[in-house]
Amino acid sequence: MIVTITAPRRLRGTISLPGDKSISHRAVLLNAVASGEATVTNFLVGADCLSTIACIQALGVRVERHEDMVRVYGMGLRSLREPVDVLDCGNSGTTLRLLAGMLAGQNGMFAVLTGDASLRSRPQHRIVAPLRALGAWLDGRDQGNRAPLAVRGAHLHGGAYDLPIASAQVKSALLLAALFGDGPLTLTGRTDGRDHTERMLAAMGAAITVDEPTIRLMPLDRPDALQPLSLRVPGDPSSAAFWWVAAAIHPDAEVTTTGVCLNPTRTGALDALRAMGAQIEVANQRDEGGEPVGDVTVRSSQLCGTVIEGALIPRLIDELPILALAAACAEGETIIRDAQELRVKETDRIATVAAGLSALGAAVEATEDGMIIAGGGNLRGTTLDSYGDHRLAMTWAIAGLVAAGETVLHGAEAVGVSYPEFWNVLGRIRE
């Protein structure tokens, strides 16, 4: 799919966001092993989350979906059925990694997890090694580092693990496996990734305590110990970030995103934009489904360069492509460092973002763990490719709103992974 974008005179609109992708995944996965029925509304109907539903259904759990409402009929902790075929996780690393943890504790079950070419190329040793330390049996290509991953459910034990990287997927895989263990799991180290799994487990009755940087989870002592959790999924801040940056870099813009998840582990993009001088207003703050939410309005701003590094990186890792675009439109230099995780996303996002921004006329230097962006704006339209990466596709679409001339995007359909309505919303706010 090829889309051509030109710069509009102004941007205006109030946007109701799709449900958060991370929370949508977990709502299905955890309710699948709860005891009873749960209703999830504002579920993200994107390709990644639909892969999670398909895998859970293949494991014998009844899941019904009506547009963005999902009903999960959980059958209890150890009730998953051995799949008769390979479980296809599509492009979703969350599906593969969290399911690997969950299935590792289903004693006696055998399953194979795979996905598309992009997912099969991503490293999996980061979950395989710690799960093996809990007694799990996993193997795959490249000595267990690449999918397809074979998982044979085993009797797991508790233990302690020091997380070397801030990865919510690794942390969540271990917590899901520990539900089936025979002793407590203690996690230390880089536990500062997204905490949606911890919040949801606590809301469902699991014995989990969080005392930064230590997380301790007791295994469940009964098959029906996990209670179903019905919730409305808050708006996805990773999706909202594209509209925040669009408003900040456009000369005549005011855009409001409603019901955004404001979990502190997810608001790094707002903090980075504030540091760059963006005009941001947060209103109507409240709590939904155990998560803080609010309405965020961003207006045209004079941005300046900044440094994005350290503890901020896990809080905005998925938003770094669009923040790099903001940096290209700011005055002064922006340095992004400590973000080597970008190298192993759907694409090597350091290389692809730097190349795309350079093609748009920005001065960018890719480094091993980030980028140095000179800033200055004056982008010019060009032809770009998403390479099948949804965040690249949306970043280049936003670039087209401020670049001179036409920006032609190949692979525009990639937005369907996380934001199927993206192009419709873009058309609405530019009119």
Please return the burial class of 251, using the count of CB atoms within 10 Å of its CB with bins 0-12, 13-18 and 19+: exposed
Q: Where in the sequence numbering do the catalytic residues fall?
A: 318
- Give how far the C-alpha of residue 107 lies from the chain's centroid of Cα atoms, to the nearest Å: 29
Q: Residue 387 half-sphere exposure, CB side, CA atoms within 13 Å?
A: 15
Q: DSSP assignment, residue 414?
A: G
Can you state the angle between helices 320-328 and 390-399, rounded to 10 degrees? 20
Q: Are the CB atoms for 94 and 241 separated by under 8 Å? A: no
One-letter amino acid of 84: V
Contacts with 352 (C-beta within 8 Å, 6 or more apart), sequence order: 387, 389, 392
What are the distances in angstroms from CA 83 to CA 20, 100, 112? 28, 13, 9
3 state DSSP class of 51: helix
Contacts with 108 (C-beta within 8 Å, 6 or more apart), sequence order: 152, 153
Contacts with 103 (C-beta within 8 Å, 6 or more apart), sequence order: 80, 109, 111, 113, 151, 153
3 state DSSP class of 378: coil
**Of 255, 248, 295, 294, the residue nearest 274 (C-alpha):** 248
- C-alpha R_g of the chain: 21
Q: What one-character-per-residue DSSP string does 202-230 give?
A: HHTT--EEEETTEEEEPPPSSTT-SPP--
For the stretch 203-224, what's the b/e string if a residue is b when 16 or more beta carbons lie within 10 angstroms of its beta carbon? ebebebeeeeeebbbbbbeeee
Q: DSSP assignment, residue 341?
A: G
How far is Cα 82 from Cα 86, in angstroms, rounded to an integer?
10
Q: DSSP assignment, residue 290?
A: T
Q: Are the CB atoms for 8 and 401 separated by under 8 Å? A: yes
